[in-house]
Amino acid sequence: MPNFVSGARRQSLCKLACAGLWAALFFHFSAQAQTAVTVPTVASGVPIKLIVPFTPGTGIDLIARTLGPKLSLKLNRPVVVENRVGASGNIGTEAVVRAAPDGNTWLVSVNTLVMNRSLYPSLSFDPVNDLMPVTLSSWGQLLLVTHPKSGFSTAGELVKTAKARPGHINYASPGVGTPHHLSMELFKNTAQVFLTHIPYRGTGPAVTDLLGGQVDAMFLPIHVALPHIRSGRLVALGIGSDKRHALLPDVPTLAEAKAGQVNVDMWYGVFAPKGTPADTVALFNREINLILKSEETQKAFQTQGMDPAGTSPQEFGRVVERDANRWAQLIKTQHIKAD
C-alpha cells in the first residue's frame, strides 16, 4: 500500500515547519540584537577616545596604544588615543570626568590619579568618586637607582649614609605628587632618613641630570631605567616591590637590601565617566581583559617591565580605594603639598 500524506495533513506539517523556522530566525536575530545594544550607539565614524593624561612614550601611553587597535577590531569602531597633558594628569582626568557617559570616552591612567586626590584638595572634581573603574590593566615596578659616581652599590649603603649626613643626598622626580616622588617619600618615611627633593618638569630632564651626576638618586620605572642599567650609566640599588623582577633577577627588593619593607608597585587601569551604563562598562571590561590575556599583549607589556592583570570593575575599585587611603596617609604624614 503506497505511503502518502493527505493534502490537509501535508499543509498542516508545512505550516508547523515554517513556524519553527521563523521562531529560530526570531531567536537568532533577537540574541544578536541583545548583544548589539551593549555596544555604544553613536553616529557612524565617531571614534572611541582613550584619553591618556600624560605624554606620549610613557607606560600609560604604551598601554593605551596597545589596547586601541585591538579594541577597534573587536568593536568594529575606530579607536583613537588622545594625550591630554598637564597639571600632574588632572587636565586629562577632568576631561573624562566631564565627558558624556555614553561609552565614547575612556581614561587610561596610573595611580597618580589617587595621589592627586590628596595633593590637590581644591580640585573641582573627585578623581576617585567621579570616575567608574573598568579594569586594572597591569602592574609596574619602580627601581631605586643612582649614578655610579655616588659610590652606592646597595640601598642599605644609601640609607646608612643618609642617616649619617641628613639632607646631603638629593633625589630627582618628574614633579611633586608623581609616583616617583611619593615612592621616595615612602622610602624616606620607612627608613627614617632625610633626602633632599629636586623636582623637575617631567621624567626626561630628571633622568638627564641623574645620568650627568647632578642628582644622586631616583625611583624610575623598569622600562625607563633598564637600558641605562645595562649600559652601566645607572646602578640599580633595589626594586620597590615584594619580589624581584624577571628582567632584573639580580636586583634585590628593598627589603632584601636592608632598606625597609617598601612596596611602591604602580597600577595602571581604565576608567569611564560616572554614569556610564553598566552593560557598556561590562562590555569594555570583558573585551579589554581578553586583549590582556593574549600572548602578543603580554609580550608587549612584559618587555616594558609591566605585568598584565585584568580584573572585574569591582575588584579594580577596591584596589583604587585602598591605594587612595594609603597615599593620603603618607601625604599627611610627610606634609607633602603640590606646587
pLDDT of residue 305: 83
The more confident residue out of 15 and 136 is 136
How does residue 177 score in pLDDT terms, banded at 50, 70 and 90? confident
pLDDT digits (tens, 9 = 90+) for 329-339: 999 988 888 75
Name the grid cell of 253.
627588593
Q: What is the DSSP string of 169-220?
A: SEEEESSTTSHHHHHHHHHHHHHT---EEEE-SSHHHHHHHHHTTSS-EEEE
Q: How far apart are CA 303 and CA 136, in angstroms?
A: 18
What stretch(es) of the chain map to CATH 3.40.190.150?
A: 48-139+266-333
Specify the range with the lowest mean pLDDT, choosing from 10-24, 42-56, 191-205: 10-24
Count of beta carbons in the 10 Å neighbourhood of residue 87: 16
CATH 3.40.190.150 fits 48-139+266-333, yes or no: yes
The per-residue pLDDT of the chain, averaged, comes to: 86
pLDDT in tens, 155-173: 999 999 999 999 899 999 9
pLDDT-based confidence at 178, cuts 50/70/90?
Answer: confident
The correct answer on CATH 3.60.10.10 for the domain covering 142-239 is no
105: CB partners within 8 A, 6+ apart = 48, 49, 51, 95, 96, 99, 272, 273
Of 34 and 143, more confident: 143
- What are the angstrom distances between the C-alpha of 93 and each of 107, 108, 111, 128? 7, 9, 12, 10
Residues of the chain with CATH 3.40.190.10: 142-239
Residue 244 or 303, more confident:
244
Report field, pTM of the whole predicted structure over 0.85: no
d(CA 338, CA 197): 13
pLDDT at 37 over 50: no
Integer CA distances (angstroms), 167 to 146, 159, 183, 195, 198, in order: 16, 12, 17, 5, 12
Asked if pLDDT for residue 176 goes beyond 90, the answer is no
Question: CA torsion, points 114, 181, 82, 74, in degrees to nearest 10?
Answer: -60
Q: How confident is the model at residue 23 (pLDDT cuts 50, 70, 90)?
A: very low
**The pLDDT of residue 2 is above 90:** no
Question: Which residues are CB-neighbours of 296 under 8 A, at least 6 positions away?
Answer: none
pLDDT in tens, 224-244: 899 999 999 999 999 999 999
Q: What percent of the chain lies above the pLDDT cut of 90?
A: 66
What does the pLDDT read at residue 339?
Answer: 57
Task: Please check the confidence at residue 28 and state whether its pLDDT lies above 50.
Answer: no
